[in-house]
Amino acid sequence: MQSLDEFRLALLQQQAELETRIAAIEADVRGERQPLSADWEDQSQERENDEVLAALYRQSQGELHDVHKALQRIEHHSYTRCAECCGEIEIERLRALPCTELCARCVHDLEDAI
């Protein structure tokens, strides 16, 4: 069985990677790059790239939030407890989705309800 320390280390590594990605996106958005091209087609492509960067930024921020929540659950000794039923989250599920808050049964129940 994987210890909580191994999960913590993996989550801290993921946190560092996300923070690096976010910093790179922020640097690019702040304009630490060339001004928009004079060519309309090039400008269109550059603006489309900005939209992609914005989406990546939002996704990375969301993932970072989930990592922080998972690290807090480790600190509060509730990492392996399902937020819905308070049962144990399967270790295989935690290995696959280290930020998950729900056991497989509760996820299945929620999906059936939708």
Q: What are the sequence ranges of the domains in the chain? A: 1-79, 80-114
Q: Which residue has the higher pLDDT, 43 or 25?
A: 25
| Residue 1, pLDDT above cutoff 50 | no
- Residue 8 CA to residue 32 CA, distance in Å, equals 34
pTM of the model: 0.81
pLDDT tens-place string over residues 76-99: 999 999 999 999 999 999 999 999
pLDDT tens-place string over residues 2-29: 589 999 999 999 999 999 999 999 988 7
- Residue 81 CA to residue 56 CA, distance in Å, equals 30
Least confident segment among 25-34, 49-58, 64-73, 97-106:
25-34
